[in-house]
Structure 1
Amino acid sequence: MNNSTEGDADDMELFPLYVTVPLGIFLAFLIFLAMLGNALTIIAFVRDKKLQTVYNMYLVNLAVTDFALSLFSMTVYSVHTLASFSWPFGYHFCKVFLVIDFTLCLESVISIVVISLDRLLLLKHGPHYVLKESTKVATIKIAVSWVLAVCLYSPAIIGWDLWTGEDVSAPEDCDVQFAYHFVFTTTTAVIEFAIPFIIISILNFLIYLEIRKRTVVFPMTNTGNSSSEPNADYTSAAAKETTRKDIKAARFLAMLVLVFFLTWAPYTITTIIISFCEECVNEYVYEFLVWLLWSKSAINPFLYVYNSTMFYKNFKEILRCCRGSATNTLNSTVVSHVTS
């Protein structure tokens, strides 16, 4: 077993400068975008009590996960990518990196399942939703999701080479030891991607059916049948406004699921192929798919803004405050230099 990579960093063949610079700028921009968008989501939730709903708790949990992915996984792995796919941090930190990264990625998948389930429960229970889905219940669900995320991969990542007595990773690589075990890789891929995607698809189809029932009872368009009862008009204008919001939320979920599928499916299929035929997948293609998977963390905040005008307003206010604070700091610095 190789527990050290001393000397490997000196032997690494780096990309040419004309490749490293544009690639580094692009990765830095992607990481910054993911960190900024998810940080704004978290700050907006904390500062605005109107956003502190059970449903948004699940969204913020996803934002926290994506922020951690960008702060840790994407940042650390960018060094590996720019070093021509050579791992410079050694065996032990590789284990730490893989445990954290796999946990965060799986938690993001579970979060999407929970968000879809919560939206369906809201449509099913209606006014009783608040009684059944309290903050306490949401906290328990989130805690359980993190336990599940830790338990699926962590034992195998930490102990696979210890159990088998064989280290299949080269000193300059940072791969899970089960990467070439077809049965385990396929099983975890089914658990991590296939099953959640099927569940999410079913939940979103049920959400569509619930919304369709409402649009049949309260059509979104005006039928021209005026009522003599003001209360009836008010009521009709109100299950319509609710239906409009439900349709918008359903579209948000559909886009969330679509982004999840487009960014995760290629990577998942590729890992299965690699498990029985390493030479079948080009190294550059694999690295691109890794970053494609993580790009979801940068895309999700845009979906939050699309879905919620309150998130959008908070984003604008926070950015305006930051810009104003930076301007005031710059002005005060200039004045102090002039006066001195």
Structure 2
Amino acid sequence: MNSTVSFEDGEEDETEEFSLYVIIPLGICVAVLVVLAVMGNALTVIAFGRDIKLRSVYNMYLVNLAVTDFWLGLFSMLIYFVTILKNYIWPFGYHFCKVFLVIDYVLCLESVISIVIISYDRLLLLKHGPHYVLKESIKVAQVKIAISWVLAFCLYSPAIIGWDLWTGEEINEPNFCHAQFAYHFVFTTTTAVIEFVIPFIAISILNFLIYLEIRKRTVVSPMTMAGKSSSKRITDENIAGVKETTRKDIKAARFLATLVLVFALTWAPYTIATIIISFCDDCVNEYIYEFLVWLLWSKSAINPFLYAYNNTMFYKNFKEALRCCRESKVGNQNSTVVSRVTS
């Protein structure tokens, strides 16, 4: 999602650009955010590709989320930061503005849908148990992911592309680039409900059902215990098994809860602000709104840390990839030094 940015119309802009005292710290903050989003999510995708142990259906959904977060960092954040440095002058023209808005909105919505799918998949795993792999194959996951991208495209993209053509009105002032429906209260409120309120309710319900399923697993029926009492060794091996499974389920549930919490904290303020702006343009301070835009995007930088914290395999792959990068860098430096000495 993006805030209002402006179009260059070929004429010299007379507005003052930000001073170095603003650009330097702002640039550092944005650079850190972009690097974390791009590198963290790139490492997630690389780990999935190189480690066969990570290639599960559940991790496919995580990687899909990582792909959306990667492009939000590399595309949306970087391009939008250029407009900030130019004092919100949009230097890329009318048509690329449409492209930028479509990609940005699609990526943001896809990240929301991905979290819903991830929560639903975890619930299916708990409900179906051993039969999960028969019902949820790689092909099924690929179909779900493809459908999610189509849905993400369909919500905003037609309106972004054709709003001014349908209405015959161009609400953008000269030099500005923002969604034509930004000040349409009904459309903005409706899409906000579809994009945030409904997914948040769905995710909350799914996570509550996951919690109930985990509670069921922690209760061992007296009949089961009676059947196992004839063999202490078998009994011990089986409570141990239940405890290990329950421990993994609880850890996964905590990860999902954290993912949902991060989603709520980063998205809710922005969603509320866009609804307010749709009927009262001056009711939200522009600097506060800018902060909320970057807060929303910050989720893309936070998610990779959640993957590494929740999954030891991701964590090990991250460490190995970073170590290889450092060793490669040191090797290149040594080769450069040797070549200079020999020459």
Deviations 1:195-231 (A, max 9, x none): 000000000000011111112229xxxxxx9984312
**Partner of 1:245 in structure 2?**
248
Q: Does 1:63 align with 2:66?
A: yes
TM-superposed CA distance for 1:87, in Å, is 2.0
> Do residues 143 (structure 1) and 146 (structure 2) align?
yes
Q: 2: distance between equivalents of 1:62 and 1:9?
A: 41
CA contact under 8 A between 1:12 and 1:86: conserved in structure 2?
no
Structure 2: gaps spanning 5 or more residues: 1-5, 222-227
Match of 2:182, SS?
A: coil
Deviation at 1:307, TM superposition (A): 0.6
**Structure-2 residue corresponding to 1:263:** 266
After TM superposition, give the deviation of residue 90 of structure 1 in Å.
1.9
**Residue in 1 that maps onto 2:310:** 307
Write out per-residue CA displacement over residues 47-103 of structure 1, whole angstroms, 9 at most, x where no aligned residue: 000000000000000000000111100110011122223322221111100000000
- Residue 111 (str. 1) matches residue 114 (str. 2): yes
Out of 274, 285, 289, the position equivalent to 1:282 is 285
Alignment of 1:319 onto 2:335: no
Answer whether contact 1:169 1:177 (CA < 8 A) is retained.
yes
1:26 aligns with 2:17: no
Q: Which residue of the partner structure matches residue 338 of structure 1?
A: 341
Q: Which moved more, 1:236-245 or 1:84-93?
A: 84-93
Is 1:184 matched up with 2:187? yes
Structure 1 residue 236: deviation in Å? 1.6
What is the match of residue 221 of structure 1?
A: none
Q: Which amino acid aligns with 2:239?
A: S
Please provide the CA RMSD for this pair: 1.6
CA distance in 2, matches of 1:172, 1:249: 47
2:205 corresponds to: 202
User: Does the 8 A contact of 2:269 with 2:292 survive in 1?
Assistant: yes
| Aligned equivalent of 1:172, options 154, 164, 175 | 175
Deviation at 1:170, TM superposition (A): 1.7
Counterpart contact for 1:58–1:111, Cα < 8 Å: yes
TM-score by length of 2: 0.94
- Quick one: distance in 2 between partners of 1:94 and 1:197? 29
Q: CA deviation at 1:8?
A: 5.4
Q: Do 1:8 and 1:88's aligned partners in 2 also have CA atoms closer than 8 Å?
A: no
Scaled by the length of structure 1, what TM-score is found? 0.95
Aligned residue identity for 2:202: I
Q: What stretches of structure 1 of length at least 5 have no aligned partner? A: 219-224
CA change 1:139–1:8 in 2 (3 A) is farther
State the distance in 1 between where 2:12 and 2:233 align: 76
**Quick check: 1:252–1:307 contact (8 Å CA) kept in 2?**
yes
Q: How many residues align?
A: 332
Asked whether the equivalents of residues 196 and 271 of structure 2 are also in contact (C-alpha less than 8 Å), the reply is yes
Contact 2:69 2:300 in 1 (8 A): yes
Change (3 A) 1:183 1:265: same
CA displacement, residues 132-180 of structure 1 (integer Å, 9 cap, x when unaligned):
0000000000000000001110000000001111111123322100000
Query: d(CA) in 1 for partners of 2:242 and 2:70?
Result: 36
Q: Name the SS for the 1:73 alignment partner.
A: helix
Give me the whole-angstrom Cα distance separating, in 1, the residues matched to 2:287 and 2:150. 33
